Structures are given as structure tokens and as C-alpha cells.
Structure 1
């Protein structure tokens, strides 16, 4: 039985049969606190008289349906589908139903703010969840126009894809919002946001039509809304994209709603974008947080053209949708906003995400084989986003920036409000640039895995290169050796730091590529392959270069060059080519002065992972002490009030183990210890409380006291995570029950608990949960993809790697009868275990 799944073949068969014209959707949000009423009238045509198809509706109650005026038998609605037989050339389907509000972030999510009791609703439909709110033909290539009519309590704010109308009273305390007809769009980008939101309005006036702008936020967060900053980035984005694409924004108005308990970072609903409301910062944040938020704003805006105006035919091209927005947001941010160093952040964070994903057993081509919806939902990953964006960045360089933009302009014009496949985009780019992209697409889009580039050279008695080549390798299971355009930088120690003396740009092909331009050059202190980050590949450092970084990485004047060195060191640690102690020394040598705050945050997490997961057991205590004391020194030396001071405080809290560190955290919380320039505000207090709970120094009483200070939903989520992170058997049992057994907690609270469950150094209390995890994994998919993925990924027993756990997981994988999604997540966890154990062996060697 299909349930909530849909195959690509079924979608193709349905699209070949019908064309959908219009949906008229009526929603009554005043029915109860658990359900709403949904009425859908959809008009569509059929190419074959008498044929059969089906419509989609999930979890409908009291469902009644009429096809061309004839009521269907109740049995027609089964297994989340509505069977439609005897189609005519032109058809009208009318369906009424009661549907449940969601607490999982899928469909129509309902939230009551504990700060003030106000009610907030929003929809989240990607990939296939519009069918949880109205009856649909749920696939991206069956576009239609929409009219939404919404009954809601008087005084609410209600927005959808079309401009917001003035409501009319329909009965006491209830008003009706009758939205105008939309442009043609896919079901997954339709949207509804409703509730007691505060609204800030403005407008963008550019070279095309004026665009009304609005920001929606919960009233309890209104005091923290920095609307001017958000609107500035929004207007900069519209100015940039309308010029770059030579096309005005296609959907009239532009609302940005910051919503609670959101599963994703944001969603590109046409004209009604939704964001996690954690992007409304209650406490002081580093520059990296604002840079990240600006990037997300621009990512969703880019989708208005690429994804919403022109949409993929099927989810095989999901990568193109997301990779384009990922590339375009960084491209726009670097050129149009004050966040000009965003490509460094991309290298430090997003590409590392891609490299990790590409080395897991679940790796797949960028153009993945998304044969059904379950496969789609599992492939929202670092390959889909960051590897794809990296290859698009290469493609821009390959065809030329102006020709690339010219191809995009032709593409948007030709396929506006329609659906396409990758070949359609490549055809326009080939026409604009004159280049054949077939081989490029095969090499980069249709193969899996990441290449590794390594310098191989010889020097004479005078220290000059007598031979120099770049060696390329690939994983045995994914042996493709690709063409790469790279730069090679030679860096020398000088009075001004590590300075690039010489740069060569060249093409790399095959297993070994000689670099004759470097013959006769003096061996530098640092050889940096892929300087300027021109390609997507892991790079290796020779022994001398690695030793240089241990003391001098901070002196490299280019943040992008440092990013490449950070990334290479991390890759070498994870690939068991560098010991954990060496990596920690490199981090401590440079993190205190690293200018890219994205890198600082990543390095602090990576350093802790080196200690807890990659260090040999016999070295772990000493390395933990070195990490803790090293961060304490950097924190003490940090400029008062600086971003580094805040980031290092967070990093030190995560590293705290000793009595001295615990005493310092207590002092910061109770005010007996003051660091000049450091404000211990709400979010930082929770960081400190959670750290103390992790050490066992804080229990329920202290967490309850902190929760009394912050009775918001964020406070409740922080408190739930702090309880779960304690090294206590009862705390772990309660956390397990909350996430795995109970179903009454909202999605974000469960996620906070799940991500706090597995903690390094808590092997004894977590030991029983290896078997319990595997037992749960056998049926967890029945809880739905979002909840199952949280359990499978976050609660996998990876925090305390052991050969025994690896053997147990291997035995289970060899015999378990499980669905592909579950096997993917467990296999990924297994790969992390094996990698950690190999790294520990390397660290044991010295």
C-alpha cells in the first residue's frame, strides 16, 4: 500500500493523463484546537475519457468527495488517496474533510506561545505535505492557480501567496480572508500563515513594479526584531537579483514570516517565505549569525525565480533547485551586502558539510535517483546543497559569469510558470556560452564521491623543486578521477607572517599531473593546493606544511587560504592521516585570532570532537585538559566585548570538565565572576546551565530555577536539552521516553532532547541504549520521516566509539529487515563509528 509515498513512475503516469487548472481552497480555523475544516474544489482535464487516477489527502476525517457532481463512495478514500474513476474531458472534484493540526512541523502546525498564550499557525509543505491541508495532486509538475479563503478569529493576521485582503466578518468573532487568484505554481510552495503575529511593513522600489514587503513575528519576540537589518538585506537582494536576472520579481508581494518550532531553516513559499524564528536573536550573537541569516534570506529569494517561477519536473532535480539557491545566495551576498567574506564562510562550513556527506556510504550523485518521495526526503543533504553549489560555482567559471547569467535570463523567460529538467537549463547555458556541457554534467553530476589531491615533489640540496606533481585519488567504490582547475600557492614565513610568494593556476587530470611551472622554485613553508578554492576536492598537506600550521596558521593573511588549511587539517584528522593531538594544537594556534567567525564556531566544535571522538583513549584525558586550558587562555586574552570573547565562552563551556572550569561557569552565572565586556544574557545563561548539567554539577532544581527566568518556548526547549544532557541514568531514561515513546511533545522540543542525548564521556550510562536504539530502528519509520530522522540520526550511539558498538551495529545491519531510509541513517552512523576508531588508532601512534 502506498500510504504517504508516491513513486516517480506514478507521478509521470498521472501527469501524462491530467492537467490541473485551479484549486479553490476554503479553510476554517475556528473548528477546534485540534482540527480545522478543509474544502477543496479542483478543476482539471483528462486526456482519456473514462480513465482513472487519484488525488492525495493525508489523515482526513469525515471525508466526503464529489466528482463531477456525483458523490463518491466512502471506500474511495483509503490509504491517504482518493480514487477517481470515470474521468471526463473536463472535471471538477470537490472534497470536504476535517484535518488535524500538526505538532511535527509538517502540514499546518499549531503553536500556543507559553509566554503569553497567543496562537500561531503556519504551513510547511515541502516535499509532499500540502495534502495535509487540502486535497491535491501532490507533485511539482502539476501546477495550477489557487484561491484561498480562510475563516479565522477576528483580529488575527492571515497571509498566503496572494496579496492579503481586508477581512470581512462572517459571524461573531470570526472573519474571512478571501485571497485573489495566484499565478501558476506547484502545491508545495503554496502557504498559509495565521495567528496573532505582529507585522512590520515596507516596500521595495526598483526598476520594475513596486514590491510590498512585510515581516511577521510572534508578539513575544517583537522587542527583539531588528527589522531594519532584515529589510536592508531584503532590498539589496531584490536589487541584485532583478538586475542579474533581467526580470522583475514574479509574485507581487513579499512576506517573510518568522515562525516557531520550525523543522527547516526556511522555505521558499511563493511570496510568503517562512523562517525559523531563532533567526530573531533574543541575545547577542556573533557576526557569523547575521551573515548566516542574510544568506538564508537571499537563498529563499533566489528560489522565487529558480524553483518557484521555473520548477523542476520531478524531484530528481531537487539538487538543482537547492544548489542554485545556495550558489546564488552566496554570490549575491558577496556582491550586494556588507557580508563580503561569505565565500570564506562557505568554504569553512558548507563545503565541509558536503565533504562529510560525500564520504558516507549513503553518498549519491548530485543528480540523485529520487525514485519516490521517501528517497527525496532522505536526500536533503550536503550533496544536494553544498556539493551542488560548489559544482555550479565551477560551472560559472567554466562558461563565464556573463554567459552564465545570459543563459539564466533566457531560461527564466522561456520556462516561466512551467516545469523543466536539467537538460533544459544546460541547453540555455550552452547556447549562451557556446560550450558543450554534456561531459561536464556526466563527470560532476552523475558520479559520486570526492577526490583527494596531494602534492608529490622532490627537492635538491639547495631546497629547490626538481619534480612536482599533483596526485589525484578517489574512493575505491567511486573511482571517478575528475578534471579540476586549481591554483597552487607557495607560502613563506616572513616578518609579515605566512605570505604567498608564488601562485600557479593549472588543470588537473588523471592520477598524476606534473606541474613544470614549479620546477626550480624553492620549497616553501606551506604548499597549498586548491588555493583560492577553485574546485571541489579534499586537499592534503605535506609534513613540512603541516608543521608550519601548528605554529603559524594564524599568520596567513588570507581568510580563504586559512579556510583551506583548516579544512585540510580536519579532513586529515578524519581520514586518520593526522593525530587528534596535532589537530588540537593547530586549532589552538589560530582560532583565537581567526577573522571568519563561521570558522571560529566550526573549529571549536571540531576541536571538541577531536578530544571526545578521535583521540586515543590513553591520550584523551590529557588532551581534554590541554583543550580546556588552551581555550581558557584564549578566552582570557580575548578583546573584551568582542565576537571572539562570546564564541570562546561558548566553546569553553562545551569543553569544561575540571573543577576549576565548573567553578568558572558557576561564577559567570551567579555574577561572582565578571569578564570585562561579556554580557551573560539569556541565551548565554542557557549555554552555561547546559554545560553545568553535562558535568553533573546542575540537576533538576537548578534547571527549573533557570526556566523560571525564561518561561518562553525557547526556554522550555533549552531546559529539555539540559535535562537530557546530564550524566545520569534516570535523565537518559526520561529523555529516551520523551523522544522515542511519547508523541505529545512538539517537534522542536523532541529535537532539543534528542541532540543532547548522546554525549562523549557518558559511555556507562549510555551503554544500554545501543541495543534499544537498534530495536527502535526496526520500526521507527512508522513515526514519520521527520521524527524518525531525528531519532535515527541524533540518538545513534556514536558519541563514545568502541569496537564493541561497531561490531553490534554491523551484526544488526547484516540481518535487519528495514526500509531504505532507516538503513541509510544507521549506515551513516556506523561509518562515523568506524572513522572515529581509525582516527583513534592513528592518534595512538603519536
Structure 2
């Protein structure tokens, strides 16, 4: 039997369908046979045998192949016409069933299903499987939902010189043949395979075999990074074993750094996949390594949160992501040499704050995802950063002993199964939590951000809290109020739990600024009273306390977005203070965020002058940093990105006139070349750099640079890549979207603003999943901040847009409206 797939448009699994199928089926075993012996072909062979029991006469199995070549149920052929829209309908089910489904599956280039990457450095082919969220049926037949776990067995045939990895130990079964048997049941969404001529470093810790894998062209870089990777991995295992009281249950632990990966990483049990940019080709700062460490610890936390105990439906995805986010930062800070709560505050919390104030905001828990596609839209800053911040509040509310005891009960009670939010609450209640339902209702089942503010009072000051709608808030905020004096010294004033109204506090003489959340402990917008910004300006240049710096700079960004702080004043605040800030992560994030003040929050005519101020600030950071320091490198990167001096950029690109202690490596070279090409359109320098660096990373840099060239022909070429099908890798398409709309090119790109809203929805004809939404988000014309663009976005939303594109346009429009409101108020 051979029949082509009747359609490429697949329905998303609805929650009601998943509940019906879960009530009817128990999946005992899944055996997958893969033929990867022709990795340069368009398709590969996949044959799946599913053994399951049924309590209903009919169901369906998910299969999104190119061809269906075999389908038998209990030895009887399944009519091929029952394969429609990625589902194979089954009837006549017995109590015990054996289903065989075989076909030809397409290799992907979008980072989902079985992704294929040909490394331009050496022409070698690399594969990895990404089964999240509903991509598993793109490489094997399955009952694709999180609560139908099964035991798996893989038989893989591939070129004999390859490495083959998966969720269980890889055992040779003859030349070019491997068998993999994961030790415990798995949900479909974290089943994986990694195959190709990968380079590897192995180690062992506490009886656990560790493996680190990367493309052969990055072997040297992996070997250089391996000591840090091993140390972070080992210390994280020790931390989680101590804290949870449950040992890692999935056998070996491989970490594969793979090309074109959409997310930061994926928590596949026993074989975590990461984007390979974490294996640094150039110099990396301690803050960047800290960020990598937090991702490693985050994915390891998932081995318990998500893999050992899995959410029953995507509605409870916070049981995965919020906990992994919180635990990853806690683990890094407590167990490794990388304290990362400052990074969490300045980078991750701001990401979550933007999401929580957007029209698409949603509760942390119980997101109401009616289908898997809707759930994908909620993998955002709320599920990660807000959820983690709320968990910090929960620890303060419960006490750490009760918090951890409840988690230990949860892991043992629901091991290798599925659970819901109510079952976790029950475990905490058994551990001694009181009135947790009320706390959860206030924090986890509501959306939006409260606002903390201060006002003068006879006793000194009053700290107030209001809800997202401006009324009383039901959320209890456990926080520390701090005072800052004229010399920048920070003094804790009082620890309190603010419950919905206001709290008077005593303020010592000499206090200039009262910070309502002085340790960055809660989840709320922060303001500083009627004269707050002048008070901030008076003390910010001398403040060294990292938590206060995080709170203040987040408040500045939020107030600019809220059109309550003039972007010009915000630029003055940052310019007057940042050159004295020492932590590199703060310098990097604040400098990067300041670029918006020279972009969408600036009148077009004023953008060059503001960019020049940003450039001068970046150079001041370079000049005030020790030679060779991470801080110097952070300042230099931003100095390059904001430079308008072509001659200086050409000198830097040639390695001349660099600040003392800095040397060009491949990545820093591309940073300079990208900006130079953006200003000049110089294809010659682009071609020379590509001739010296043939890596896939170079191809991505080159794609971004080509899209940024200031010519009509370059923009049209880039636009075709964004809006028409091609064989270009997803990363190169993303880079093209990033490079398209650039400050200083507003007149050149003006025709494409209307074209974006007219054409971006049609990209769903050839893109899907993550890539569909990501390209739409990256290409959104934020720089065209005016009423016309708002009207175009509103008109597009009134029409028919695919859900991933609609979400990006909704969120993009929200930010656009904020920029327009700011311009109307402060530049009108």
C-alpha cells in the first residue's frame, strides 16, 4: 500500500480529544525502526509497532508522513483512505491490540521532527529529533499527547561511522545498526534521536555516564568548554539529588549541542538537546557562561519536573517550565560558581513583564489551552519568568522546608506518571501548607501585574500596591523595602507582607529614594512616588547594590513602555549612571535595552543623535573597564552595533585600533562586519569574511548582514526569503528577519511595512509551528511607530491569520501602540 499524504495542514489535538483517547487507551510498548542510510535523500523510512489496550471500539493514531506504505491492526490491513490530515482512523479495536504503521517521513529544516543539517564547514550531515509540542508524528507514528506514556525501543540503521544517541543507552547491533531502549516510560513530546558524525567528550559522575556532543567542526571548541560543562553538570546533579531526595532515574545523561535548534534546549530524558551556540566559537564572558549554566540546570530540573512527573495536559505546562526556571536559577546560584539571580531579574523578569502586560497575557496555571497549538503560544515569559518569580514568593509563603517536602512527596507519589496542579497542591498540604488554595487563586490563576509605589507620609512613607486594573490586589507580596541615601548606600528598612492595600514605614533621615521591592523578590511593576525619577537620577550613578539596580532599571524600561517616563529622560538616566555599573550582565542588558530609546521610542529625525549618545556611552564603558575584561567586551560589542563611523569600523574589521586587551575572533569579527555592511552595503567585505569562515554560524551572520544592506535590491531579495518557500535553514531565515527593518533605513523599508501585514499570514502555507510564529515576530516592523502602522496591524487582525502569526501580531501591535503613545505624549 502506497499513498501520498492527502494534506499538509494538520488539525491540532484538542484537549477533549486527548481526554477521550486517554480514557480509552493504555499504551504498553512502542517499537520504532528507522532507516537513515540515505541522509541526503528527502525522506527516510520509519516503521512503528504500537502495542496497546483499548476500552473503546475506535480511536486514531497520529502519523504525519509523506507516504503511508503499511498499516495493519491486529494483522488486518487498515484502509489507506482512513489516513487523513495526519491521523489514521482505527476501528474494530480489541482489548489488546498491535498496530503497525510504516511510511516515508520528510527530513525537516525547521528544527522540528527529524531535522537535517549539512555543515557547510565540512559537508557532513547531522540529524536530531525534536518531538515537542506535536512534532513527534513527523518522524514516527504515535498517540501524541503527554498522558499516554509508553516504553520505547528504537532500532536505527545509519551510516556506520555515525554516532547514534537517544533517550536510552545506544547499543551496537551490527555494522551501521544500533538499538536504544530507554529505561523508563516516556511521553511522546520528549522522545529524541541524535545521529551523525558528532564529536564527543565523555565523563562520569556519581555513577552517571555523561556525554557531550557537537558537530565535528566544533570539536576543538567543545574540548575547550568541556571542563566547565562537566563541572556545572556534576554540581547540578549533586544539588538536585540532595534537594529532591530522588535520584536521577533515566540512566545515562547526554547533552547534545545541535545546529538550527529553535529553543535554548529541550529536556529529553537522558539526551538533552541544546542550541550549539552554547559551544562558543569566540570569546565568551562569565555572564554568558552563567547563562549557559542556568540552561543546563534548567533542563536537568526537567528530569524531575516534566520527565519523571509529567503534566496531564498542556494547561499545566507551568508544572514544567516555571519550576525548571526557578530551580535552574536556584541550583546555579547555590551549587555552581555562577550566581544568576541578577541575570534572572534584569533579563528574564523583563521578558515576563512584557508578556504579562500584553493583551495575550494569561494566568501562570490553568492557561485554558483548548488544543496543543494554543498551548504553544503560552510558552512565553509568563510560563517561565513570572512562574519562577511567583515560586520565589511561594517559598517565602510556605517556608523552604514545607516547599521541598511537598515536592519530594509529589515526585514519589506520581513517579513516571502524570499529574495536575491540584495533585501538587495536595502534596504541599500534606507537608503542612495552610490555605494554599487562596494563595494559588491569587497568584497562579490571575493574570497581569500589580504596581508597587511609595508616597510620603507623616511616619516617612507609605508603600502601596494596586492590581492590574488599578483597584485592590488580592496577592500577598512578601518583600523588603529599602532606602538609598545620597551616596548610593542601600539600607533595608522593613520586611513585610503587603496584602492588597498600603503599609506605612519609617524612613531614616538622609534617605533619598525608597525602593518598594529592595531585593527584587516579588512580581510587580515598581514606581517611586510623584518625584521618583528625580530621586532616581540623584542616587543611581552611585548605587552598587545589584538588586536595587535591577529593580530601578526594570522600572525605567517599564515606565517608558507605559508612556509615563519620557524616553529622553530615560536616556539621560542611563547615560549618567551606566558607566559606573560593574556587573557585566547589567551592562550588557541595559545597553541593549537602551537601543529602543534610539529606535521605536524616538522620533525618526532624532534617532541618529540618540544612537550617537548610546555609542558614546558604550565607549565610556569600554574606557572605564580593565583591559581584557568581560565588561570591556560587553561595551565594545554595543559600541560596534551603534557606530556610524565607517572608517573606524573598517579599521576594527582589519584588527586595527582595537581597545587594549581586545582581539578579534570569528564571532567578534562578524559583529563588526555586520554593522559595516549595514552602513555601506559592501559585499566585498562580506565575501572576504565568508571566505575565511565557512561555518554555519557564518552563514547566519551573513544572512543578517545581507538583509541589512541599505539597497532596494537587497531588501527585495531578503523579503523573498521571508515570504516565499526556500531550502534555506530556519536560522538563516530568522537572521534575515532580524536584519530587515533597521534604524536609519526607514525610507527604504517603508513599502514593506504594509507588505508585512498583507503577506505574513500566507507564510503558513509553507511554514508551521515554531518557525511560523518566530519569523512573524522577528520581522514585525516595530520601527514604523506611527498611527498608519497601527491601523495596518488592526486591519490584519480583523482578517484571517493563522494562530501563531496572530499571536505575534497581537503582541507586536501592543508594543507598537505603546511606542506611539510615548511619541504622542513626549515628542508631539
TM-score band w.r.t. shorter chain: over 0.9
Q: Cα offset for 1:566? A: 1.1
Whether the aligned pair in 2 keeps the contact of 1:256 and 1:274 (CA below 8 Å) is yes
Q: Cα offset for 1:109? A: 0.6
Q: 1:506 aligns with which of 483, 496, 508?
A: 496
Q: Cα offset for 1:473? A: 2.9
Match of 1:204 in 2: 205
Match of 2:100 in 1: 94
Whether the aligned pair in 2 keeps the contact of 1:404 and 1:433 (CA below 8 Å) is no
Match of 1:20 in 2: 27
Whether the aligned pair in 2 keeps the contact of 1:144 and 1:184 (CA below 8 Å) is yes
Q: 1:673 aligns with which of 657, 663, 666?
A: 657
Match of 2:360 in 1: 362
Q: Cα offset for 1:617? A: 4.6
- Tell whether 2:43 aligns with 1:35: yes
Q: Distance in 1 between matches of 2:510 and 2:538?
A: 18
Q: Distance in 2 between matches of 1:211 and 1:715?
A: 36
SS in 1 for 2:735: helix
Match of 2:58 in 1: 52
TM-score (norm 2): 0.96
SS in 2 for 1:498: coil
Q: Distance in 2 between matches of 1:501 and 1:311?
A: 43
Match of 2:13 in 1: 6
Match of 2:811 in 1: 828
Q: 1:634 aligns with which of 621, 633, 654?
A: 621
175-184 vs 376-385, which deviates more? Answer: 175-184
Q: Cα offset for 1:601? A: 1.6
Q: Cα offset for 1:479? A: 7.8
Q: Cα offset for 1:501? A: 3.6
Q: Deviations over 1:87-132 (max 9, x none)?
A: 0000000111111111111110111111111111101111111111
Mapping of residues 449-598 of structure 1, within 5 Å: 449-458=448-457, 465-466=458-459, 468-476=461-469, 481-493=474-486, 497-510=487-500, 512-515=501-504, 517-518=505-506, 521-522=508-509, 524-542=511-529, 544-550=531-537, 552-598=539-585
Mapping of residues 276-355 of structure 1, within 5 Å: 276-340=275-339, 342-355=340-353
Whether the aligned pair in 1 keeps the contact of 2:681 and 2:711 (CA below 8 Å) is no
Match of 1:462 in 2: none
Q: Distance in 2 between matches of 1:553 and 1:612?
A: 24
Whether the aligned pair in 2 keeps the contact of 1:56 and 1:138 (CA below 8 Å) is yes
SS in 1 for 2:261: coil
Q: Distance in 2 between matches of 1:688 and 1:785?
A: 33
Q: Deviations over 1:299-350 (max 9, x none)?
A: 110111110011000100112210000000011111100112x111111110
Match of 1:806 in 2: 790
SS in 2 for 1:472: strand
Q: Distance in 2 between matches of 1:633 and 1:410?
A: 53
Whether the aligned pair in 1 keeps the contact of 2:603 and 2:827 (CA below 8 Å) is yes
Cα 1:672–1:201 shift into 2, 3 Å? closer
Q: Deviations over 1:728-762 (max 9, x none)?
A: 22111111111211321111111111111121232
Whether the aligned pair in 1 keeps the contact of 2:267 and 2:303 (CA below 8 Å) is yes
Q: Cα offset for 1:623? A: 2.6
- Tell whether 2:250 aligns with 1:257: no
Q: Distance in 2 between matches of 1:184 and 1:375?
A: 26
SS in 1 for 2:407: helix
Whether the aligned pair in 1 keeps the contact of 2:512 and 2:539 (CA below 8 Å) is no
Cα 1:329–1:388 shift into 2, 3 Å? same
Match of 1:721 in 2: 704
Whether the aligned pair in 2 keeps the contact of 1:616 and 1:841 (CA below 8 Å) is no
Q: Cα offset for 1:157? A: 0.4
Whether the aligned pair in 2 keeps the contact of 1:490 and 1:528 (CA below 8 Å) is yes
- Tell whether 2:754 aligns with 1:761: no
Match of 2:190 in 1: 189
SS in 2 for 1:137: coil
Q: Distance in 2 between matches of 1:739 and 1:812?
A: 18
Q: Deviations over 1:567-594 (max 9, x none)?
A: 1111112112221122122222333343
Whether the aligned pair in 2 keeps the contact of 1:56 and 1:82 (CA below 8 Å) is yes
Match of 1:649 in 2: 636
SS in 2 for 1:777: helix
- Tell whether 2:604 aligns with 1:625: no
Q: Cα offset for 1:618? A: 5.7
Q: Cα offset for 1:779? A: 2.9
634-643 vs 440-449, which deviates more? Answer: 634-643
Q: Cα offset for 1:781? A: 2.9
Count of aligned pairs between the two proteins: 816
- Tell whether 2:217 aligns with 1:220: yes
SS in 2 for 1:22: strand
Q: Cα offset for 1:774? A: 1.4
Q: Cα offset for 1:507? A: 2.1
Match of 1:232 in 2: 231
Whether the aligned pair in 2 keeps the contact of 1:739 and 1:753 (CA below 8 Å) is yes
Unpaired runs of 5+ residues, structure 2, are 1-6
Q: Distance in 2 between matches of 1:481 and 1:615?
A: 37
Cα 1:396–1:475 shift into 2, 3 Å? closer
- Tell whether 2:683 aligns with 1:692: no
Match of 2:692 in 1: 709
Whether the aligned pair in 2 keeps the contact of 1:759 and 1:800 (CA below 8 Å) is no
- Tell whether 2:426 aligns with 1:427: yes
Q: Cα offset for 1:621? A: 3.9
Whether the aligned pair in 1 keeps the contact of 2:71 and 2:101 (CA below 8 Å) is yes
Q: Cα offset for 1:279? A: 0.2
Q: Distance in 2 between matches of 1:690 and 1:481?
A: 49
Q: Cα offset for 1:674? A: 2.9
SS in 1 for 2:148: coil
Q: Deviations over 1:136-180 (max 9, x none)?
A: 0000000000000100111110011111213412xxxxx110223
Q: Distance in 1 between matches of 2:294 and 2:460?
A: 43
**Structural RMSD (CA):** 1.8
Q: Distance in 1 between matches of 2:540 and 2:304?
A: 41
Match of 2:753 in 1: 770
613-622 vs 439-448, which deviates more? Answer: 613-622
Q: Distance in 1 between matches of 2:735 and 2:805?
A: 21
Whether the aligned pair in 2 keeps the contact of 1:699 and 1:723 (CA below 8 Å) is no
Q: Distance in 1 between matches of 2:688 and 2:471?
A: 53
Q: Cα offset for 1:181? A: 5.0
Whether the aligned pair in 2 keeps the contact of 1:394 and 1:534 (CA below 8 Å) is yes
Unpaired runs of 5+ residues, structure 1, are 170-174, 459-464
Q: Distance in 1 between matches of 2:771 and 2:281?
A: 27
Match of 2:178 in 1: 177
Q: Deviations over 1:269-311 (max 9, x none)?
A: 0100000000000111221110000000001101111100110
- Tell whether 2:762 aligns with 1:787: no
SS in 2 for 1:731: helix
Q: Cα offset for 1:32? A: 5.0
Whether the aligned pair in 1 keeps the contact of 2:135 and 2:189 (CA below 8 Å) is yes
Whether the aligned pair in 2 keeps the contact of 1:525 and 1:544 (CA below 8 Å) is no
Q: Cα offset for 1:237? A: 0.5
Whether the aligned pair in 2 keeps the contact of 1:270 and 1:304 (CA below 8 Å) is yes
Whether the aligned pair in 1 keeps the contact of 2:65 and 2:86 (CA below 8 Å) is yes
Q: Distance in 2 between matches of 1:127 and 1:242?
A: 28
Q: Deviations over 1:33-70 (max 9, x none)?
A: 2211101000000113xx11000011331431000000
Whether the aligned pair in 2 keeps the contact of 1:526 and 1:544 (CA below 8 Å) is no
